[in-house]
Amino acid sequence: MTERLVPGDTAPAFSLPNADGGTTALQDFTGQNVVVYFYPAAATPGCTKEACDFRDNLASLKSAGYQVLGISPDPVAKLAKFAAKEELTFPLLSDEDHAVADAYAAWGEKKNYGKTYQGLIRSTIVVDGSGKVALAQYNVRATGHVAKLRRDLKIDA
């Protein structure tokens, strides 16, 4: 497992297929603050809650200067269906081989009901306009995470 990112680290570059059929790269957002959040699986209860929280807070995040990108190991078709069903208005990116999650230390050992396995660790990394990590949060909870992130970034309601 890659060592967890900390503020000041250079954010690993990436370019991934998105739910709209195109490609989204971190460098597309040079000069902007970007919230990169990793979630295990589209259309599951926790991931839906988290995605809808980002959707519902997107205007205030954008007005504070933050773009949002969601990354999961789901295939593009599943992401497109999820985005349409939940009316998500920010890019959802497909990282099927979890190479980007690996680079961001968002892929690793998980435990569930006594079983240990490799999987996506729900994580949020905020990248500043110069490509440096401004904030790195791992093992976040789906419910209430966006509210906590807003507090941590000092974004008013």
Helix (H, G, I), strand (E, B) or coil at 74: coil
Instruction: Tell me which of 26, 47, 68, 120 is the catalytic residue.
Output: 47
**Would you say 133 and 8 are in contact if contact means Cβ atoms under 8 Å apart?**
yes
- What is the C-alpha separation between 9 and 83, in angstroms, rounded? 31
- What is the C-alpha separation between 104 and 90, in angstroms, rounded? 20
Would residue 52 show up in a list of annotated catalytic residues for this protein?
Answer: no
- What is the C-alpha separation between 113 and 63, in angstroms, rounded? 41
Task: Provide the annotated active-site residues.
Answer: 47
